Amino acid sequence: MSLTPQWLDELRARVSLSALIGRSVRVTKAGREFKACCPFHNEKTPSFTINDEKGFYHCFGCGAHGDAIRWMTDHQGLPFLDAVKELAASAGMEVPAPDPRAARRAEEQKSLHDVMAAAQAFFVKSLAEDQGAQARAYLASRGFPAGIVKEFGFGYAPDSRTALKEALSQFPEAMLIEAGLRIVVEGRDPYDRFRGRLMLPICDPRGRVIAFGGRILDKTKTDAPKYLNSPDTPLFDKGRTVYNLHRASPASRQSGRVVVVEGYMDVVALAAAGIGEAVAPLGTALTEDQIERLWRLVETPLLCFDGDAAGQRAAARAIVRALPLLRPGHSLQIAVLPAGLDPDDLIKQRGAAAMEEVLVAARPMVEVLWDIERAAGPVTTPEDKAGLKARLMAHVETIGDNDIKGLYRRALLDRFGELAYPQRERPAFQPGQRRSGPGGKWQPGPPPLPAAVTARMQAVGERRPLLAAVLAGLIVQPREIARHAETLARIEVPDPALAALLDALVDLVHGGANGSGQALESADVLPILAKRGLRAPLADDYAGMRFGFLDGKAPGAAEELAEAVDLLVGLPAVEAALAEATRRHEAEFSDETFAEQQRLLQRRLALLARLGQMGRTRAGM
């Protein structure tokens, strides 16, 4: 059957989505859309919207989203093709003629479904008979309630090479072999695959049996695997199948989570404890296809592994598989059981609440990835640390989404930086002392800065006190205004009063604002400012710092004022460059970016120190 995208689009366009959903759910009109209480999770206030124009539904509570076909598969439980046929019939459309080969394959699969259903009935019957006594005793030892045993379809495969064949004599042996129920070995007669085992059916998303898993009961048989699964067949692909998905899917809509455990007996144990949203892979590490299937249920499935070395390896494999698939909002969480305990052991020893505590403590993938690689080997030498960084970055490079890749790189490099470049303890600061040189002894130094100056040095990016002092200096040295007018005109001043004062002083350079055409003196400036409603800055405006250039007659006052203007412009430039260097260092975390960051940091500290020295030049007066 050839269902082209164009044909499917036409089908969706002909279906009234609100009417379709309205057959099962009470919907009400809300503007250009419809709303309803979400059928995928319990809620009292409607958060489920239906948009006929765009042809999709969306729940803002649980995230359920899809079109008409998705509604039929997810809510009505139909397979894709059956959903399409039902929608086409209601829309008056002819379904394209089937491909003969596809029809033949579908008929063959239907026949195999009959075989598997008959095998399941035989195993359940055998469990109830005398020959199933050992299997029943095992189930009793596990403490599984009768309801759970029935719900999960436990059965028993008699310890016979031909019991299943004889019970399913209505089917040709070739079909039993194709279904994976019989084994063919060259030179020997075919024989039953499952013998003397507790049986558990494996179902597809519709609940149809497609394979089996069997647990050996005779502990003396050390030459046989403890658990045995069906081989891949036309019905069963173990890399794409998720055990218990058909039960976990509706349960996950209630709880908002999916719990992935290592084996199907763990799934049963969790269900017996009231956690029905548990699933498991089938004898393999979690595959890409299985991850994608789980993401259809919830955006962040929760993987729960045993606390032993094997569990850690399983977690690592799952993370490696998931990294290339990550996309916004979709990830995995990892929960780790106490060492030596599987879910059933934990529940029996400490109760279901202890299991919930483990699940609640699940951590994001990025944290677990760091822990795994951090514990992979020693990190004592520079070479060890470089190896750790290389392994982490190799994982990051497998991520397909660029935004997620960048965020993972940042998060992992932050952790690596804390490990590789720990903050070193500095000698305790001793006021009024200085070192004579690298490794030298402490010797008396200059007196400590006034408290006001220290506060100014710590106020990074706050330029108002320095600007106020510079403007006061220009008022007492008005002849210097022309020298610095161009530089000062480019400064952005957020304070309205200081901005007006700066503009007024810059205006004075145009021929002298006193009208005489002669050079201005300090006594001429204040009346001009007063006429504009302005005043000269006071000591409080520049944080009580007493700059030498505020005495226009002091030696070197003009040059110190020029240096203050340079600081006024230079400090913001250095701070901006330092912020950019810090951003680059956090993104790249290389020796070069670290060196540039430290260089600018030292430059900034030097400028602030010079500012502090200038601010105390007249502190003792």
Q: Are 319 and 325 contacting, i.e. CB atoms less than 8 angstroms apart?
A: no
Closest CA to 445 of 437, 435, 453: 435
* Six-digit token string for 484: 């610095």
Average pLDDT over residues 247-272: 91
**For helices 464-476 and 557-588, angle between their N-to-C axes, nearest 10 degrees:** 160
**pLDDT confidence of residue 107:** 54
The boundaries of every CATH 3.90.980.10 domain in the chain are 112-229
Among the ranges 224-228, 538-542, 575-579, which has the highest mean pLDDT value? 224-228
Q: Which residues contact 414 (CB under 8 A, 6 or more apart)?
A: 586
Residue 617's pLDDT is 45
Q: Which residue has the tokens 């230079």?
A: 570
Residues 6+ apart with CB under 8 A from 79: 73, 206
Comparing 112-126, 240-254, 505-519, the range with the smallest average pLDDT is 505-519
Q: Categorize the per-residue pLDDT at 314 as very low, low, confident or very high, splitting at 50, 70 and 90.
A: confident
Q: What is the pLDDT of residue 81?
A: 83
Q: What proportion of the chain, given as a percentage, has pLDDT over 90?
A: 38
Q: What is the mean pLDDT of residues 159-186?
A: 93
pLDDT of amino acid 437: 43
3-state DSSP call for residue 335? strand
Q: Which of 500, 483, 476, 452 is nearest to 565 (CA)?
A: 483
Residues 514 and 524: beta-carbon distance below 8 Å = yes
Q: Where in the chain is the domain with CATH 3.90.580.10?
A: 5-91
202, 232, 359, 399, 552 from 308: Cα distances, Å:
27, 29, 17, 27, 78
Instruction: Return the closest-CA partner of residue 239 out of 292, 281, 210, 204.
Output: 281
Predicted structure pTM score: 0.58
Q: Check pLDDT > 80 for residue 5.
A: no
Residue 27 gets the label, from left (phi > 0), alpha (psi -120 to 50) or beta, of beta
What average pLDDT does the chain have?
83
Q: How far is residue 460 from each of residues 312, 605, 619, measured CA to CA in Å? A: 47, 10, 22
- Identify how many contiguous H helices and E strands the chain contains and give both numbers: 25, 18
More confident residue, 621 or 475: 475
Give percent of the chain with pLDDT exceeding 70. 86
Three-class DSSP category at 30? strand
3-class state of residue 44 by DSSP: coil
The SS3 of residue 495 is: coil
pLDDT in tens, 139-172: 999 999 999 999 999 999 999 999 999 999 999 9
Mean pLDDT of all residues in 127-144: 94
pLDDT digits (tens, 9 = 90+) for 423-478: 655 454 444 444 444 444 444 544 444 454 444 444 433 567 778 888 888 888 88
Distance CA 145, CA 161 (A): 31
Task: Specify whether domain 255-407 bears CATH 3.40.1360.10.
Answer: yes
Burial of residue 71 (number of CB atoms within 10 Å: 0-12, 13-18, 19+)? buried
Joined together, the tokens standing for residue 393 give 């970055």
pLDDT of residue 478: 83
pLDDT at residue 454, rounded to an integer: 47
Instruction: Check pLDDT > 90 for residue 212.
Output: yes
pLDDT tens digit string along 568-615?
777 777 778 888 888 887 777 777 777 787 888 887 777 777 776 666
- With both helix axes pointing from N to C terminus, report the angle between 343-350 and 264-272 in degrees, rounded to the nearest 10: 30
Distance (Å, rounded) from C-alpha 550 to C-alpha 90?
90
Query: Counting Cβ atoms within 10 Å, is residue 366 exposed (0-12), middle (13-18) or buried (19+)?
Result: buried
What pLDDT shows up at residue 266?
93
Lowest mean pLDDT among 27-31, 170-174, 560-564: 560-564
pLDDT tier for residue 115 given thresholds of 50, 70 and 90: very high
* Range with the poorest average pLDDT among 69-73, 260-264, 558-562: 558-562
The pLDDT of residue 424 is 57
CATH architecture classification, 5-91: Alpha-Beta Complex (3.90)
CA angle 131, 229, 236 (to 5 degrees): 120
> What's the whole-number mean pLDDT along residues 170-195?
92
CA distances from 182 to 157, 192, 194, 502, 566 (A): 12, 4, 8, 95, 89
Give CATH 3.40.1360.10 domain extents, the chain: 255-407
Instruction: Give the tens place of pLDDT for each residue, 83-111.
Output: 888 898 888 888 876 666 655 555 555 58
The model's confidence at residue 243, banded by pLDDT at 50, 70 and 90, is: very high
- Angle, helix 522-531 to helix 496-507, in steps of 10 degrees: 120
Most confident listed range (38-42, 391-395, 476-480, 485-489): 391-395
Architecture field, domain 112-229? Alpha-Beta Complex (3.90)
CB 142, CB 153: distance < 8 Å: no
Which pLDDT belongs to residue 11? 87
What average pLDDT does the segment 220-224 reach? 80
By the 8 A CB rule, do 321 and 285 touch?
Answer: yes
23-37, 342-356, 460-474, 508-522: range with lowest mean pLDDT:
508-522
